[in-house]
Amino acid sequence: MSASQRPDSAPELPQTFVPAEVEGKLYERWVERGYFTPSGKPDATPYSIVIPPPNVTGSLHVGHALDHTIQDILVRRRRMQGFDALWLPGMDHAGIATQNVVERELAKEGLSRHDLGREAFVERVWQWKAESGGRILGQMRRLGDSVDWSRERFTMDEGLSKAVGTMFRRLYDDGLIYRAERIINWCPRCLTALSDIEVEHSDDDGELVSIRYGEGDASVVVATTRPETMLGDTAVAVHPDDERYAHLIGTEVDLPLTGRRIPIVADAHVDPEFGTGAVKVTPAHDPNDFEIGRRHDLPSLVIMDEHGVVTAHGPFQGLDRFEARPAVVAALRAEGRIEKEVRPYRHAVGHCQRCDTVVEPRVSLQWFVKVQPLAKAASDAVREGRITIHPPELANRYFSWVDNMHDWCISRQLWWGHRIPVYYGPGGEVVCVGPDDEPPTGEGWAQDEDVLDTWFSSGLWPLSTLGWPDETPDVQRYYPTSVLVTGYDILFFWVVRMAMFGLYAMNDRGAADSVPFREIVLHGMVRDAHGKKMSKSFGNVVDPLDWIDRYGADATRFTLARGANPGSDVPITEEWAQGSRNFATKLWNASRFALMNGASTALPVPPAGDLSSADRWILSRLHRLIGEVDASYDGYEFAKACEAIQAFAWGEFCDWYVELAKTSLTAGGAAADATRAVLGHVLDGLLRLLHPVMPFVTEQLWLALTATGEAEPARSLVVAGWPTARTEYVDPAAEAEIGALQALVTEVRRFRSDQGLKPGQRVPARLAGIEGTVLAAHESAIRTLLRLEVPGPSFSASASLPVADVRVELDTAGTIDVAAERKRLEKDLGNARRERDQAERKLGNAEFLAKAPAPVVEKVNKHFATAQADVARLEAQLAALPS
């Protein structure tokens, strides 16, 4: 190639980047070429992440999009760094949600699951799953998830089901699974027990009813929002130190409407400051009351059936619980038992996550996991540093939950799910069957009707997806997984269960390698720009698929990642998505310029002595950026990494270097070739740094940048090397030189703007004193950037602007209203001086400095420095105005 010519074979890019035209094609290319499948090379360090399995009924919502974007950033970077990277995808069978979906489909046909029977119904669910389930998997492809589809798993797969059966049998044999009557969350609509995470609480309007139990001095008043449950009261409880009721402890009182007498017991759980300080105790229908009942050996009277219908004998029998409520209040009022007027009361009420029915706590015969030893192991793993939580301050929330866990109800009254592997015999025999055991047969033997909580199988996810309980090559290589990425809102429900099961199942590996993951990265919730939670009722819900359609997957991902730091909620707006799309467009246009002017990765970067100061500056800034981005990613500070990359790409590369490069490219010769090499090197490094966040646009640009014109080899940024910060390129002198140029240009541009000069308006100017400074070599570039003409012989300066060692003298005669401009600047100067003086007084106040927090003092210091700089700038502008 001639030194003064760009290559004729320079690849061309379309004038604009249209995401929809390239995203699908690029993704399928990646999958077909197996780029997402780990190499398995023994000399490569394993790096593995298992995806939090979305529900088979689900679709991609903004929370998924954030979670998947973060994981993809981590995996893509590690893959480029040469790790043997595995991101394993899959789905959860979502017992309640999926059964509800299929039951609704049956209802349209006038059928119920009972009309089909269990076996036929389960077959119908599998059919639905094959035809309609898993829509989210295709949506993950649209987002750009670089998961290994060859390892896709489903919690009801044969292998995963084997893992579930093995874990159940081991826990059962070790006495950690038992069956008992205990209080649980019950959905009267879904007719099943619920886990805590399947209960959503909302503040609902209710009524607070005050009821007098007993007569005269031996009576006590209790307040309740659920008066219908009084039919199942078996005690009244007061605090043991409450002197108001000391004389009543140990006595009995009449329970209205029932003809029963119940004891008054002392229990430290009662808050004497709440209400009357006395509470009704209904052990069968309230979790706190259940615990009080156990401590005092109280009976548990179930007064409702599984549909929420009252079963207690009497006038309320057969009424729905919400019909019984006003009926009970009316009966109490008729007997004179309502102590005060019933008053409105807003309180937290649990609802079924799937159908929104109000949950009914009730005593029920269920299967439970005895969690105490498992929870202690999960707690110790974090306390001892075998599992690290990011951010570390969320570890206390982890401990507050795991150190106080109640036994876990794992049985569900459903047909879709892993059926409990326990068989009951005709003589009362109970046999637990493992996956390799033959179940007992013969007359009178029957399997337990319930299925396991979905969280039981998803708690095994890091194990089962890799092939446990078999010692598969994947278990040996990729367990423990490297990182778990999930929202802090399911820290307790899913993360803790995985920690418990992983440590229990793999305890023969030794403490360090039995954990299911070495690090937990907890991100926050996606919120709107005002910090408000996204809700359909608020009208602020973002559909990521809509954004992908309109702005592209890259813009959607960048918008989410630019707000994501450990533990912090992520604010987003559509304006930011538009800005992210504009960023992609800016990068596209700068890359087109570079390619049209012969930028190439094939050209070696010349020695520093053969480079212009602008070339050396941008190389220095790139290699500083690489180190900064690496540090941010290693600390899971995705927002910080994105901010740094965008600031470099837009502010330094596109807005400054591309403009400065035009001087060398126009000059031709060796200087032009050097700049082409630097353009190629810097653009290559920038695209690699940005690829994990914006994979599609960077891939398209990189393929064009590295094209050779020959038959296309198997090239892709997906498997290209991650850039390495090279200290030999760091050049403080070049940074100082170009920094001086930027300061001068920025100050003169601000002056032009303040004077009302149009950006394209050319103005005669003299750069006095530039000779002998580092800026002398840049005079041509400065004039080009600032639209400054070389002055003629009749030049007369009407404005003078000092910037460092250079005085920029401009002839602005006839372009501005000097009097109006002077008046405006004097007003701004007065405001700036007041701001400066106010901050200066605070900083001179010893009492303020002694008492104010350090961040507040720092803020005032910054305010003072800004105001002082504004004063200097405005004084210089006033001085530059013609008399």
E strand residue ranges, 589-639: none
Helix (H, G, I), strand (E, B) or coil at 481: strand
Considering the domain 548-730 in this protein, what is its CATH number? 1.10.730.10
Given CA atoms 451, 376, 566, 561 in this order, what sign does their dihedral have? negative
Is residue 825 very low, low, confident or very high in pLDDT (cuts 50, 70, 90)?
confident
**Number of residues written out for the chain:** 883
E strand residue ranges, 512-575: 517-523, 526-527, 570-571
Q: What is the pLDDT of residues 380-417, one digit of tens each?
A: 999 999 999 999 999 999 999 899 888 999 999 999 99
Q: What span, in angstroms and rounded, lies between the C-alpha atoms of 713 and 715?
A: 6
Q: Which of 9-13, 114-118, 341-345 has the highest mean pLDDT?
A: 114-118
Strands 46-50 and 84-88: parallel
Q: What span, in angstroms and rounded, lies between the C-alpha atoms of 368 and 370?
A: 6
**The two three-digit tokens of residue 713, written as one number:** 């080899």
pTM for this model (two decimals): 0.86
Q: What is the pLDDT of residues 624-655, one digit of tens each?
A: 999 999 999 999 999 999 999 999 999 999 99
**The two three-digit tokens of residue 495, written as one number:** 């993360």
Q: What span, in angstroms and rounded, lies between the C-alpha atoms of 540 and 537?
A: 8
Report pLDDT for 805: 87
Based on its alpha-carbon atoms, the radius of gyration of the chain, rounded to whole angstroms, reads 35
Domain 819-883 fold: Helix Hairpins (1.10.287)
Strands 260-266 and 235-238: parallel
Q: What span, in angstroms and rounded, lies between the C-alpha atoms of 168 and 367?
A: 11
Q: What span, in angstroms and rounded, lies between the C-alpha atoms of 594 and 611?
A: 17
E strand residue ranges, 769-811: 788-789, 799-803, 806-810
**The two three-digit tokens of residue 468, written as one number:** 């446990």
For the chain, the structural domain boundaries read 192-361, 548-730, 731-816, 819-883
> What average pLDDT score do residues 840-857 get?
86
**Contacts of residue 135, Cβ cutoff 8 Å, sequence gap at least 6:** 58, 59
Other beta carbons less than 10 A from residue 470's beta carbon: 13
Helix (H, G, I), strand (E, B) or coil at 369: strand
Q: What span, in angstroms and rounded, lies between the C-alpha atoms of 391 and 242?
A: 43
Q: What span, in angstroms and rounded, lies between the C-alpha atoms of 402 and 696?
A: 41
Is residue 847 very low, low, confident or very high in pLDDT (cuts 50, 70, 90)?
confident
Report pLDDT for 713: 67
Q: What span, in angstroms and rounded, lies between the C-alpha atoms of 648 and 651?
A: 5
536 labelled ligand-binding: yes
Q: What span, in angstroms and rounded, lies between the C-alpha atoms of 653 and 115?
A: 68
Residue type (1 letter), 448: D
pLDDT at 582 over 50: yes
Q: What is the pLDDT of residues 584-636, one digit of tens each?
A: 999 999 999 999 999 989 999 999 999 999 999 999 999 999 999 999 999 99
Q: What span, in angstroms and rounded, lies between the C-alpha atoms of 522 and 793?
A: 68
Find out whether the peptide bond into 469 is cis, omega within 30 degrees of 0.
Answer: yes
Q: What is the pLDDT of residues 698-732, one digit of tens each?
A: 999 999 999 876 656 678 999 999 999 999 999 99
Q: What span, in angstroms and rounded, lies between the C-alpha atoms of 775 and 740?
A: 8
pLDDT at 1 over 50: no
Report pLDDT for 559: 96
Residue type (1 letter), 805: D
Find out whether the peptide bond into 544 is cis, omega within 30 degrees of 0.
Answer: no
pLDDT, averaged across the chain: 92
Q: By C-alpha distance, which of 799, 823, 820, 817 is closest to 809?
A: 799
CB 600 within 8 A of CB 106: no
Report pLDDT for 883: 67
Considering the domain 192-361 in this protein, what is its CATH number? 3.90.740.10
Helix (H, G, I), strand (E, B) or coil at 538: coil
Instruction: Tell me the percentage of the chain whose pLDDT exceeds 70.
Output: 97
Q: What is the pLDDT of residues 530-572, one digit of tens each?
A: 788 877 667 788 899 999 999 999 999 999 999 898 888 888 8
Residue type (1 letter), 736: A
pLDDT at 217 over 50: yes
Q: By C-alpha distance, which of 444, 362, 458, 447 is closest to 410?
A: 458
